[in-house]
Amino acid sequence: MTDGGIARAREVLGRVFGYREFRGHQQEIIGHLVDGGDALVLMPTGGGKSLCYQIPSIVRDGAGVVVSPLIALMQDQVDALKLAGVNAAFLNSSLDARAAREVEQAFEAGELDLLYVAPERLLTDRFLALLERSKVALFAIDEAHCVSQWGHDFRPEYIQLSVLHERFPSIPRIALTATADAITRQEILDRLGLNDSRVFVSSFDRPNIRYRVVEKDAAREQLGRFLKDGHEGAAGIVYCQSRRKVDETAVWLAGLGMNALPYHAGLDADVRREHQQRFLREDGIVMVATVAFGMGIDKPDVRFVAHLDLPQSLEGYYQETGRAGRDGEASEAWLAYGLSDVVLLRNRIDESGSPDEVKRIERRKLDAMLGYCETTHCRRRVLLDYFGETLDADYQCGNCDNCMEPPETIDGTVPAQKLLSAALRTGQRFGAGHLIDLLLGKATPRMVQFGHDKLPTFAIGTEFDDMGWRAVARQLIAAGYLHANAERFGALQLTESARALLKGEVEIRIRKVSRRKTGSRDRSAKVKRSTELPPGTDAALLDVLRACRRRLASEQGVPAYVVFHDATLVEMAMVKPQTLDDLRRVSGVGETKLSRYGDAFLEALREGT
Ligand code: ADP
Ligand code: ZN
């Protein structure tokens, strides 16, 4: 970028947004746009995509026109910009005719920096004519993966956005998405006529998210402990597979004194909307939801995403967990999974009635998900590898359970052989429960009925308890030695490769199985959690600052984070600014917010210290 361009972009970064430095590729992207270039930006959720078009829109003449399918979010986005002193507006079906006309007039008169529009509105003749008459700084196409016919967010209107290039060839365009795969990327370039644009690919790593997988035991109690243990009072999402489980879990958490709300497609639209609004606006709501909840949740301070059931693919899992920690602060992704999840999902695929080709892909995706759960290596490495970012085999992120408490592995060949032969000797017709009873030597009525208490494998597995054997079974499934047959109610059957393991031609290392009592605390309870404050932060003062933020936010009818992010309040509680000049130096405090809120926060700071 021209030096003048850099200087102006930096000035806007500090004055308007209150930030000191650009992140990642932001400076390059912004420079390229300010100079009139086209760009495709691939950045993970929370990477900071918005500034990439907001700053060039402010720096360049005219208004930046932002196309977004997420109508429900436009209001909050525009409110946030206005509070930072940016002239922003939106046009979508929620405005009445008069309000819409006012926005159009302001746009035509050159009074706006940013204008958000829904794609169907942008494509109308009336709006295209308005564009011809107005000064446009750039076009930003947000959620650009919606152009992909293969993706689940496909929007037909997105394909027609190529008209922008045809009618306004000299206006720079920027397309943005958090979808990583190469096929979608090429589709965006082709369909939007962006083949000459620069492509900026960021790492999809989310270093502030800590990944943790626990063995499901008493899932709800484990969830309760996870929440109490470091996430108390924090906002988060708990995903469940079924509506019923959502309802039950929400009630259960509310019984523990948490602010938990249910969200699923079976609830009234009004109830859903109200719960979503409360989640966005209030502090510390735990949303218990099916996967129906999420698209377009850009609440920056979601501190945890918990899964009570196994997701069906790593794509889905990464997207869901990616909703945590958009503000870059410490956050946690927690997953409880057990053998029954694996059997259930396998069965669901087998019985889905989909074509074999589709089933094959779904099984592969589930296998990758299982591989993630059972890995004894760094979980981040497994995730990034899946998305095409290869790291060294011994890479350690230091922020996942396996890196922080490396699991001990043992030679699992003999236990594996015991389980495999138990399956073989019983005709591969029984599920894990019966096989484990057999190994443990439990003479249940079923055992006696089938004469299995007379088998040589009866009672040969007392080295582990029930939980231990379940872990062995899961690892054998994940490693592809056993599969759960849906037509036989989840009976465990040997795969082709199991033979070599049975004969001792290959060995298998498995996670060391602890004989811990069910309900004992997770070993990890002592590690730092997301709600823990940096040293030197005054917690009582932070509460006073939060209360001040809550009051200002509700006076103006905006979510609390629109006033200031948590990170900004934490920094205030640490450095304890005493003058407006001190306050200006805190990250996230721009000039407009300083003059609007500065005195209120200085007052709160005095009161709290
Ligand atoms: P995305 O759209 O990529 O998910 P956002 O644009 O919403 O991400 O940015 C995520 C968060 O990071 C926002 O809260 C934003 O204010 C903050 N942010 C973005 N860029 C910077 C920066 N250079 N310095 C500090 N915070 C930033
Ligand atoms: Zn790791």
**Residues 239/308, Cβ–Cβ less than 8 Å:** yes
- Whether 194 is covered by a domain: the verdict is yes
Give the Å distance between the CA of 285 and the centre of ligand 2.
28
Tokens describing residue 252: 């259960």
Domain boundary, last residue among 359, 380, 404: 404
Q: Is 14 in the pocket of ligand 1 (CB under 6 A)?
A: no
Residue 111: inside a domain, yes or no?
A: yes
Report whether residue 119 contacts ligand 1, using a CB cutoff of 6 Å: no
Decide the pairing of beta strands 198-201 and 136-141: unpaired
Q: Same domain for 192 and 316?
A: no
Q: Tell me, yes or no, whether 19 and 154 share the same domain.
A: yes
- Residue span of the structural domain in which 577 resides: 539-608
Please indicate whether residue 51, judged by its CB atom, sits closer than 6 Å to ligand 1: yes
Both tokens of 314, joined, read 């790593």
Query: 520 lies in a domain?
Result: no
Q: Do 213 and 147 sit in the same domain of this protein?
A: no
CATH number at residue 430: 1.10.10.10
Does ligand 1 lie within 6 Å of residue 559's CB atom? no
Does residue 17 belong to any structural domain of this protein? Answer: yes
Contact residues for 380 (Cβ-Cβ < 8 A; gap 6+):
205, 211, 395, 397, 399, 400, 403
Are 395 and 493 within one domain? no
Instruction: Name the closest ligand to CA 381.
Output: 2
User: Given 358, 381, 404, which residue is the final one in a domain?
Assistant: 404
Answer whether 138's CB lies under 8 Å from 144's CB.
no
Q: Are 414 and 395 members of one domain?
A: no
State the Cα–Cα distance between residues 590 and 377, nearest whole angstrom: 43
Q: Are residues 280 and 367 in the same domain?
A: yes
Ligand 1 atom nearest to CA at 22: 23
183: its two tokens:
């096929």
In a domain, 276, yes or no: yes
Contact 75, 94 (CB under 8 A): yes
Instruction: Provide block-wise average pLDDT over 10 residues at a time, the chain (609 residues).
Output: 82 96 95 96 91 98 95 87 96 93 97 97 95 97 88 86 94 90 86 93 93 92 92 94 95 94 94 91 92 79 95 89 91 93 86 85 85 92 87 91 93 95 94 94 94 95 90 87 76 91 92 55 47 77 93 89 91 94 95 95 93
Q: Is 43 in the pocket of ligand 1 (CB under 6 A)?
A: yes
Say how far apart CA 477 and CA 492 lie, in whole Å.
9
Report which bound ligand comes closest to the CA of 375.
Answer: 2
Residues 185 and 247 both lie in one domain: no
For the CA of 23, the closest atom of ligand 1 is 23
Residues 131 and 257 in one domain: no
Which ligand minimizes its atom distance to the CA of 395? 2
CB-based contact 472:422 (threshold 8 Å): no
Task: For ligand 1, say whether the CB of 19 is within 6 Å of any of its atoms.
Answer: yes
Q: Return the SS3 of 529.
A: coil
Residue 87 to residues 5, 107, 118, 174: CA-CA distances in angstroms? 21, 10, 18, 20
Closest Cα to atom 14, ligand 1: which residue? 327
Task: Determine, yes or no, domain membership for 526.
Answer: no
Q: Are residues 468 and 492 in the same domain?
A: yes
Strand order, beta sheet including 236-239: 209-215, 331-337, 304-307, 236-239, 286-289, 260-263
Report the first-to-last Cα separation within the chain, whole angstroms.
45
Q: Is 564 in the pocket of ligand 1 (CB under 6 A)?
A: no
Contacts of residue 412, Cβ cutoff 8 Å, sequence gap at least 6: 472, 475, 508, 509, 510
- In angstroms, rounded to a whole number, what is the distance separating the alpha carbons of residues 26 and 200? 9
Give the Cα separation of 387 and 252 in Å (integer). 36
Look at ligand 1, atom 9, and give the residue with the nearest C-alpha: 48
Distance 489 CA to ligand 2 centre (A): 36
- Cα gap 364→368, rounded to integer Å: 6
Ligand 1 contact, 53 CB (< 6 A):
no
Kindly give the distance from the C-alpha atom of residue 204 to the centroid of ligand 1, in angstroms, as a whole number. Answer: 15
Beta-strand ranges (E) seen in 317-432 are 331-337, 409-411
Among candidates 202, 49, 175, 180, which has minimal Cα distance to 119?
Answer: 175
145, 326, 564, 569: residue to mutate for ligand 1 pocket, most atoms within 8 A of CB = 326
Give, in order, the Cα–Cα distances in Å from 408 to each of 309, 370, 405: 25, 19, 9
d(CA 168, CA 161): 11
Q: Let me know whether 238 and 296 are in one domain.
A: yes
Mark 180-216 as b/e (b = at least 16 C-beta within 10 Å): bbeebbebbbebbbbeebeebebebbbebbbbbbbbb
Same domain, 458 and 366: no
Helix axes 466-478, 356-374, angle to 10 degrees: 130
Query: How many helices (H) and strands (E) are present in the chain, helices listed first?
Result: 28, 17
Q: Rounded to whole angstroms, what are the CA distances from 169 to 136, 141, 166, 186, 194?
A: 12, 15, 6, 20, 11
Tally the domains of the chain. Answer: 4
Q: Does 48 contact ligand 1 (Cβ within 6 A)?
A: yes
Domain match, 457 and 582 both: no
Q: What is the pLDDT of residue 346?
A: 85
Q: Which ligand is nearest to the CA of 142?
A: 1
Place of tokens 């939106």: 90
Q: How far is the CA of 42 from the centre of ligand 1 (A)?
A: 14
CB distance 10 to ligand 1 below 6 Å? no
Q: Please, which residues have CB within 8 angstroms of residue 498's CB and are 6 or more apart in sequence?
A: 420, 481, 482
CA 43 – ligand 2 centroid, Å: 21
Domain boundary among 362, 380, 404: 404
527 in any annotated domain: no
Q: Which position has the token pair 């959502």?
A: 246
Candidate from 11, 12, 16, 19 with most ligand 1 atoms within 8 A of CB, to mutate: 19
* Ligand 1 proximity of 561 Cβ (cutoff 6 Å): no
Output the domain CATH number for residue 584.
Answer: 1.10.150.80
CA distance 330 to 328: 7
In angstroms, the CA 178 to CA 188 distance is 12
Ligand 1, atom 2, residue with closest C-alpha: 49
Question: Which DSSP category does 282 fall into?
Answer: S
CA 387 to chain centroid, in Å, comes to: 15
Say if ligand 1 is within 6 A of residue 22 CB. yes
Query: Which pLDDT score is estimated for 437?
Result: 95
Per-residue CA distances from 558 to 81, 280, 296, 553 (Å): 12, 9, 17, 5
Report the SS3 class of residue 104: helix
Rounded CA-CA distance 250/268 in Å is 16
Instruction: Tell if the pTM clears 0.85, that is, is over it.
Output: no
Ligand 2 center from residue 478 Cα (angstroms): 19
Please check whether residue 264 lies inside any domain of the structure.
Answer: yes
Structure tokens, 130: 């308005």
Task: Give CA–CA dist 530/229, Å, rounded.
Answer: 10
User: Of 5, 44, 415, which is closest to residue 207 (Cα–Cα)?
Assistant: 44
Rounded-to-integer distance, Cα 591 and Cα 584, Å? 7
Residue in 484, 497, 487, 182 with CA at minimum distance from that of residue 363: 484
Q: In DSSP terms, which residues pair with 209 in a beta bridge?
A: 331
384, 318 contact by CB (below 8 A): no
The CATH number linked to 84 is 3.40.50.300
Instruction: Give the ligand with the smallest distance to the CA of 70.
Output: 1
Q: What is the DSSP string of 298-348?
A: --TT--EEEESS--S-HHHHHHHHTTS-TTSS-EEEEEEE-HHHHHHHHHH
- Report the distance separating Cα 110 and Cα 104, nearest Å: 10
Neighbours of 449 (CB within 10 A): 9
Q: Whose CA is nearest to atom 27 of ligand 1?
A: 48
What pLDDT score was predicted for residue 86? 97
Q: Is 247 in the pocket of ligand 1 (CB under 6 A)?
A: no
